[in-house]
Amino acid sequence: MKQIELVIQNPTGLHARPAKVLVTLAKQFKSEISLQYESKRANAKSMVSVLTLGAVSGSCILIQVNGEDEDSAIREIEAAVRSGLGDNDSHAAAPQPAPVAKSLATTPSEPTPATLGVLKGIGAAPGIAVGPVFHFRPAELDENSFIDAKVSLPEAISQAKEQLTLLHQQMAGKKLGAEAAIFEAHIELLEDPELLEAAQAAANQSAAKAWKTAIEERAAAIAALNDPTLSARAADLRDVGQRVLRLMLGLSEKGISLPANPVVIVARELSPSDTASFDSEHVLGFGIVEGGPTSHIAILARALGIPAIVGVEEAMLALADGVPVILNGNDGTLTVNPDPDVLARAAQSQRRWLEYRRFAAEQAALPAVTTDGHHVDVTANAGSPADAAEAMKMSADGIGLLRTEFLFLERSTAPTEDEQFSVYRAIAETMQSLPVIVRTLDIGGDKPLPYIQLKAELNPFLGERGIRLCLNRPELFREQLRAILRAASYGNLRIMFPMVSDLSEIRQARAIIDELRHELNAPEIQIGIMIEVPSAALLADKLAPEIDFFSIGTNDLTQYALAMDRGNASLAAKHDGLHPAVLRLIAHTIESAHKYGKRADICGELGSDPAAVPVLIGLGMDELSVSIPSVPTVKAQVRGLKLSDIQPLAQQALQCSTAQEVRELVKKHFG
Ligand code: PEP
Ligand code: MG
C-alpha cells in the first residue's frame, strides 16, 4: 500500500469540479483508492463520497492506494492534486449561459410595475408572462407505502437510467445540448459505487427506505457544506433519488399535473426533471425562490424561450393558486394582482413579445440587412459539435466564436491532435461553406488543467492565460494549430487568438502558423485576434495591419476596463458592456480595423443584448456573434433598424457618462 498526505490548494476546497477530476482520474486505476480528511473517509472513485468529505481549502488529506497499479496511481493523483485538479471557481473562459437581456429597447415596451405588490427577483430568461399563479410542490411520497415497493432497487435504477437516457436525447435533439448534460450527470450519480453500496447495506430497512436514507444523508451532508456549487449537486442527488423511488413504488414519472389553462409556475426550487416534464404549452413563466441566473432552471428556461425570474422574495410562495400576476423576465419583477390598466398593458406587451419571437423564428433565414441596405452578419457562439448543428438550424451566418475549451476540460490528459482534428473537421463540415472562427485554447491560472503544471497565482485573471499560456507551452499550442490547419481543408475555418495584449504575441503566433502550414502544405488561413484586453483595444491601430479580423470579447473587455470581476454576482448589475468607457474602446477598435480594410466583430454577450445592438451597428460593427437562441431575434432586430438613424445615436452614446445613461438614451430613442 502507498500513501501520501497532500494539502488541497483549491480556493474553494474539494468542490464539484476538482472532485470530478479526481474521481475520473481515480477510476482509471485498478487499485483501491481512499481519501481521509479529519475523521471522514471517502472512496476516491465515488463522486458522492468525495463531495461529502467537505475538504476546504488548505485541508490536509491522506490518500491511500492499494493494488497492482498503486505506484502510477499515487504518482498521477499527487501531480493532479498539486496542479489544482482543473479547478474553476470563476466563469472566465467557461462557456457562458445565454445572457439575460437587460432591457428590450427596440422590442415591445414593458408595463410599469404597480408600486404595490411588486416582488423582486433577478431576470433569468427574457420575456413577459401574464397569467394565474400555480404553486408547484413536488408530491411527498408516503413512507408507509415503502414496504410495498413493486420494483426492486436494481430494476428501478435500470429503468431510471433508461428514462434519463431518453431525456438526454430529447434535450440534445431540442437545441438543449448543454442542458442535456444535466441528465448525463444524473446517470453518473446512479452508477456511484459508494451510494449503491450504502443503499444495499441497510438491510434492516425496506429497500425503498434504505435508498431514500442513503440519498438523504448524502444530499444533506453535501448541502451543509455551505457552498453554492455543491448545493446544486445536492439538488441533483435528491432529484435522481426521487426518480428511482417513484419507480420502485410504481408511480408515474410525472408527480403532478398542471391545470388545463396555462399558468405562471412559482416554486421554491425546481429540479431539472420537474422542468423537463412540464408541457411548455402550459407554462407561461417560472418564478423561483432559490437559485441564481446560472441555475439549471434559468438555463433551461432560456433555452425553451420561457420567461423566468429567480431569487424571488419568499413572499411569492404565500400566493394562492389562481392569483393573477405579471412576471417580467427582463427586469426580474413579479407584479401581484395588478390593476386592470397595468394588466392590459402587460398582456399587450406579452402578445407582442410572443409575436415578435415567432415572427423572428419564421424569418430567420432572411439576411440581417437594415432598412437602408446595410448588411450585418449574425453568427453564433458555439462550444460543441451539437452547437454547430443548432447554429445551422437557427440560420446563423457562421460560427463567430468556437470556444475550444470543451475539448480540454474535465479530463486528465490533453486531447491528441487526431482527436482535435476530427472534431474541428466535423464542425467545419456541418457548417458547410460558412465561416467558423476557431479560438485557440483560452485557459489559464483561473482554471488550470490537471495535465498542465501551473504556478499558483495571486491574481489568476491577470496571470498566465490565453495566448500567453499557449506561447509558453509550444507543444500544446502546436498540436492544436496542426489539428485546425488539417481540418481547414474540409470547410471555411479561421483562427483566432484570445487575450492578446500586444503585437509581439501576434507575430510569435503567426510565425508558428506559417511554419506549420509549410510543414503540412496547408492553404492560407485567415488569422484574427480577440480584443478583450484594454491594451489591445487602445493599440488596435497598430495591430490591425497584421491581422485579418478583430473580434471584441466584451465579457473580458468590460471586466478589465471597469476592474470588475465578471463572475461577481454583487457587481453583476454594474458589469455592463454599454459603459461609455467600454464603448470608446469598441469604437476605436472598429475605426482602426476599417482604416486597414479589416473586419470588426463582437463575440461577447453584449452582442445579444437588444439595447446594445443598435449602438454596436451604429458604431460600424460588421458581425455580431451571439448565443444560439438569440440568432433569429437579433437578425429580426437588425432588419428593423436604419443605419443612418443609429449612427448618430451611437455617437451620442460615446458622449454619455454612465451605462445607465446609454440605456436610457437608447430607450428614449426607440420610444
Ligand atoms: C469574452 O471575453 O467576451 C469572450 C467572448 O470570451 P469568453 O467569454 O470565452 O472569455
Ligand atoms: Mg474572454
What is the per-residue pLDDT across 348-369, written as a single tens digit (0 to 9) for each?
988 888 888 889 999 999 999 9
The ligand 1 atom nearest the CA atom of 604? 3
pLDDT of residue 108: 38
Query: What pLDDT sits at residue 96?
Result: 31
Q: Taking each helix axis from N to C terminus, what angle separates 207-223 and 153-173, rounded to the nearest 10 degrees?
A: 50
* Greatest mean pLDDT range, 56-70, 79-93, 531-545, 567-581: 531-545
603 touches ligand 1 (CB under 6 Å): yes
Q: How far does the centroid of ligand 1 lie from the alpha carbon of residue 174, in Å?
A: 25
Ligand 1 nearest-atom number relative to CA 556? 2
In the sheet that holds 40-43, the strands lie side by side as: 2-7, 60-66, 32-37, 40-43
Can you give the pLDDT at residue 448? Answer: 66
Report pLDDT for 446: 59
pLDDT at res. 542: 98
Contact between 309 and 122 under an 8 Å Cβ cutoff? The reply is: yes
Weakest-pLDDT range from 39-48, 87-96, 243-252, 274-283: 87-96
Question: In ligand 1, which atom is closest to the CA atom of 559?
Answer: 2
Query: Nearest 5°: CA angle at 171, between 169 and 177?
Result: 100
CB of 567 within 6 A of ligand 1: the answer is no
For a substitution probing ligand 1, which of 379, 497, 603 has the most ligand atoms within 8 Å of its CB?
603
- The secondary structure of residue 147, as a DSSP letter, is G
**Which carries the bigger pLDDT value, residue 67 or residue 55?**
67
Nearest CA to ligand 1 atom 6: 553
The CATH code of domain 143-248 reads 1.10.274.10
Decide: 179 in ligand 1 pocket, CB within 6 A: no
Q: How confident is the model over 174-191, as a mean pLDDT? A: 73
Using DSSP's 3-state secondary structure scheme, residue 664 falls into helix
Tell me which ligand sits closest to the C-alpha of residue 557. Answer: 1
- Closest residue to atom 7 of ligand 1, CA basis: 93
pLDDT at position 256 is 60
Mean of pLDDT values over 61-81: 93
More confident: 571 or 220: 220
Averaged pLDDT, 500-504: 98
Is 446 a pocket residue for ligand 1 (Cβ < 6 Å)? no
Sequence-separated (6 or more) residues with CB below 8 Å from residue 531: 500, 537, 540, 550, 551, 552, 553, 557, 585, 589
Q: Which of 460, 479, 508 is nearest to 408 (CA)?
A: 479
Task: Report whether 632 contacts 360 (CB < 8 A).
Answer: yes
pLDDT category at 522 given cuts 50, 70, 90 is very high
Please report which confidence band the pLDDT of residue 510 belongs to, taking 50, 70 and 90 as the band edges. very high
Contacts of 212 (CB under 8 A, 6+ apart): 143, 146, 241, 245
Type of residue found at 658? T
d(CA 93, ligand 2 centre) in Å: 6
Compute the mean pLDDT over every residue in the chain, rounded to the nearest whole number.
86
All structural domains of the chain with their residue ranges: 2-82, 113-136+262-355, 143-248, 363-670
Give the confidence band of 102 by pLDDT, cuts at 50, 70, 90: very low
* Residue 62, pLDDT score: 93
- The whole-angstrom separation of Cα 585 and Cα 592 is 11
Q: Which of 26-40, 329-343, 521-535 has the highest mean pLDDT?
A: 521-535
Ligand 1 proximity of 43 Cβ (cutoff 6 Å): no
What is the per-residue DSSP string for 609-641? -TTTHHHHHHTT--EEEE-GGGHHHHHHHHHT-
The mean pLDDT value for 152-161 works out to 91
**C-beta 273 within 6 A of ligand 1:** no
Answer whether 553 contacts ligand 1 (Cβ < 6 A). yes
Task: Tell me how far CA of residue 362 lies from CA of 45, 122, 135, 366, 642, in angstroms.
Answer: 49, 30, 34, 9, 21
Single out the residue of 600, 495, 620 nearest to residue 537, CA to CA. 600
Mutate which of 438, 442, 621 for ligand 1? The one with the most ligand atoms within 8 Å of its CB, which is: 442
Does position 331 have pLDDT exceeding 80, yes or no? no
Q: Measured from the CB, is residue 555 less than 6 Å from ligand 1?
A: yes
Q: Fold for 363-670, please state it.
A: TIM Barrel (3.20.20)
Task: Report helix, strand or coil for 308.
Answer: strand
* Span 80-106, average pLDDT: 48
Q: Residues 556-572: what's their mean pLDDT?
A: 81
Is the CB of residue 239 below 6 angstroms from any atom belonging to ligand 1? Answer: no
Q: Which of 549, 315, 348 is nearest to 439 (CA)?
A: 549
Condensed to tens digits (0 to 9), the pLDDT of residues 438-497 reads 999 998 755 667 788 777 788 888 999 999 999 999 999 999 999 999 999 999 999 999
Euclidean distance between CA atoms 617 and 609, whole angstroms: 12
What mean pLDDT is predicted for residues 37-43?
87
pLDDT of residue 563 exceeding 50, the answer is yes
With 60 as the cut, is the pLDDT of residue 266 above it? yes
Is the pLDDT at 204 greater than 80? The verdict is no
Told to judge if 186 belongs to the known catalytic residues of this protein, a careful annotator would answer no
Give residue-wise pLDDT tens across range 646-659: 999 999 999 999 99
Q: Class assignment of domain 113-136+262-355?
A: alpha beta
What CA–CA distance (Å, rounded) separates 429 from 490? 6
Which of 135, 186, 296, 575 is catalytic? The answer is 296
> What average pLDDT does this structure show over 503-512?
98
One of 3.50.50.60, 3.40.109.10, 3.30.70.270, 3.30.1340.10 is the CATH number of 2-82, namely: 3.30.1340.10
Task: Output the CA 541–ligand 2 centroid distance in Å.
Answer: 21
**Could you tell me the pLDDT band of residue 141, with boundaries at 50, 70 and 90?**
confident
Edge-first strand listing for the sheet containing 118-120 = 118-120, 333-336, 324-328, 128-135, 263-267, 283-288, 308-310, 122-125
> In a mutational test of the pocket of ligand 1, which residue from 530, 558, 616 has the highest number of ligand atoms less than 8 Å from its CB?
530
Q: How confident is the model at residue 608 (pLDDT cuts 50, 70, 90)?
A: confident
For residue 92 and ligand 1, the question of a CB distance below 6 A is answered with: yes
Strands (E), 393-521: 399-403, 435-439, 492-497
Condensed to tens digits (0 to 9), the pLDDT of residues 616-631 reads 999 999 999 998 888 9
Q: Which residue among the candidates 15, 135, 168, 603 is catalytic per the annotation?
A: 603
| Least confident segment among 89-98, 126-135, 392-401, 438-447 | 89-98
Is residue 296 flagged as an active site residue?
yes
Strand partners, 377: 623
- Output the pLDDT for position 186: 86
What does the pLDDT read at residue 447?
62
Mean pLDDT value across residues 519-538: 97
Can you give the pLDDT at residue 616? 98
If you average pLDDT over residues 150-174, what whole number do you get? 83
Pairing assessment for the beta strands 283-288 and 263-267 based on DSSP bridges? parallel
Per DSSP, 285 falls in state E
* Model pLDDT, residue 242: 87
Q: Is the CB–ligand 1 distance for residue 635 below 6 Å?
A: no
Q: Quote the cell numbers at residue 349.
A: 406587451
Residue 404 in grid coordinates? 475550444
Q: What is the CA radius of gyration of the chain?
A: 26
The residues placing their C-beta within 5 Å of ligand 2, an ion, are 532, 553, 556
Q: At 132, which helix (H) or strand (E)?
A: strand 128-135
Q: How far apart (Å, rounded) are the C-alpha atoms in residues 236 and 604?
A: 30
Mutate which of 556, 586, 616, 623 for ligand 1? The one with the most ligand atoms within 8 Å of its CB, which is 556
Using the predicted structure, report yes or no on whether residue 599 has a pLDDT greater than 50.
yes
